[in-house]
Amino acid sequence: MTEADFVVVANRLPVDRDADDNWRRSPGGLVTALEPVMRKAEGAWVGWPGQPDLDLEPFEFDGTQLIPVSLSTEEIELYYEGFSNDTIWPLYHDVIAEPRYRRPWWEAYVRVNRRFADAAGEATAQNGTVWVQDYQLQLVPAMLRETRPDLTIGYFHHIPFPAYGLYSQLPWRRQVLEGLLGADVIGFQRVADAGNFARAVRRLFRYETKSSGIRVPEPDGSIRIALAKAFPISIDAEAYVELAARKDIRDRAREIREGLGNPKHMLLGVDRLDYTKGIGHRLKAFGELLSEGRLAVEDVTLVQVASPSRERVDTYAHLRDEIELSVGRINGDSDTMGHTAIRYLHQGFPREEMVALYLAADVMLVTALRDGMNLVAKEYVASRADNRGVLVLSEFAGAHDELRTAVSVNPHDIEGLKDAIMQAVEMPAREQGRRMRALRRRVLEHDVEDWSREFLAELAASRKPAGSK
């Protein structure tokens, strides 16, 4: 294995193994975001291959060296489903679901983070750069710095960072902050997330902060500056523009509408089936609009794609039951022989089909209760080269900071959400165009390559000795 100058460390490798043991690029937020960066950098990617007890040698895929980290069935349960997805995920999303604090989960998290840090250390050349991704690996920056002080270490946090009043619940709150502070640059989605992090550091360690710099004392008595800053992630906007221009995909969009009986208005939700996404709130608002007669089932269909996610975590299994009960109730109350209120799909689809759905939808509903960014909102906007369609966007999604001309909603306010849906459904074409043009300008101007370029430039600058150019 040759050592690489640039190494990404993420929980998952960017590939899935299919039934015939062939590797395919996997869908999902992070992989979608980093794919263009990796293609250019010829780097290495350290991550779990997605199946338990799989001991694999490093291999090459699409020009990137992939370095698999093996996890046992028990480690997946404790480190991934437990600490990552049942402790950190709910805690960092403002305790929408109750976080569970289990000491064996934490112990496994430390152990597995160490394994990732060791693998990254071995994969990286002298004075190289490592970019650690996300909440499953918050301890890796400090672990890596300890063994490889020569490296430049970046960390990007894809999910929110909560206010101290919530963060302070975490029994291992000091250790997690220490882990993150091992990075030279700690990137967040929103300015508010970076602020929450800096405040937690001040409260727990009394370190001084000045604008985005945190003064971290080193064991030798010197001071190191760690930067905590917002770098809002984006999408490969051009790829969506190209897909949306394809004739087969445009035809498919028409076919989707026909299949629904050509409703006057098609509403769309696309989410991993996760309690942070506010799917239940969206269904409630839509159901009430139908039962109150403000919308008629003959005129409007809501297509809800809820891609399967974390099905072995109890909270997710319950959420699925809850959502499917609501869908069944609303459809049962509102459907006619010829029309259905909600077309619910608990399935994943190829990207082409997603773009066809974006093109078919008059209204895109993003009603997250808390979301780091929400790439779906940006994908919808990028796909609408016709400057039509309305984005209804939650204030609690990171994307809200940038997408200012969306129809803004507080999804907890069901009456407000209903009014926003009506506003979107009734919006004149001219106003749709004005809003969509402004949204598209932002998404096309700030794509995922800008995101990574800005982060990596800041990271490179952070290691230059003070005063040098």
Interface positions, 193-252, toward ligand GDG (CB under 6 A): 233
Interface positions, 362-381, toward ligand GDG (CB under 6 A): 371-376, 379
Cβ 366 to ligand GDG shortest distance, Å = 8
Rounded to the nearest angstrom, the gap between the alpha carbon of residue 185 and the centroid of all alpha carbons in its chain is 19
Amino acid at 327: V
Distance CA 118, CA 31 (A): 22
419: which 2 tokens? 């009014």
DSSP code of residue 39: H
User: How many residues touch ligand GDG (CB under 6 A)?
Assistant: 25
Interface positions, 319-358, toward ligand GDG (CB under 6 A): 348-351, 354
- Residue 21 near residue 59 (C-beta atoms within 8 A): no
Q: Which window, 27-35, 59-67, 214-222, 329-337, contacts ligand GDG (CB under 6 A)?
A: 27-35
Distance CA 218, CA 233 (A): 31
Cβ 440 to ligand GDG shortest distance, Å = 17
- Packing angle, helices 237-245 and 351-360, rounded to 10: 70
Where do we find the tokens 């790439």? 375
Task: State yes or no: residue 26 binds ligand GDG (CB under 6 A).
Answer: no
Sign of CA dihedral 172, 178, 180, 182: negative
Task: State yes or no: residue 263 binds ligand GDG (CB under 6 A).
Answer: no
Strand pairing of 152-156 and 64-68?
unpaired
409: which 2 tokens? 């909603």
Cβ 401 to ligand GDG shortest distance, Å = 12
Nearer to ligand GDG, 158 or 282 (CB): 158
Cβ 74 to ligand GDG shortest distance, Å = 25
Cβ 93 to ligand GDG shortest distance, Å = 8
Interface positions, 138-197, toward ligand GDG (CB under 6 A): 158-159
Please state the φ and ψ torsions of residue 79, each to the nearest 5 degrees: -75, -45
Task: State yes or no: residue 289 binds ligand GDG (CB under 6 A).
Answer: no
Q: Which window, 30-38, 58-66, 193-201, 328-336, contacts ligand GDG (CB under 6 A)?
A: 30-38
171: helix, coil or strand?
coil
Task: State yes or no: residue 33 binds ligand GDG (CB under 6 A).
Answer: yes
Distance CA 292, CA 139 (A): 51
Task: State yes or no: residue 28 binds ligand GDG (CB under 6 A).
Answer: yes
Binding residues for ligand GDG (CB under 6 A): 27-30, 32-33, 158-159, 233, 270, 272, 305, 307, 348-351, 354, 371-376, 379
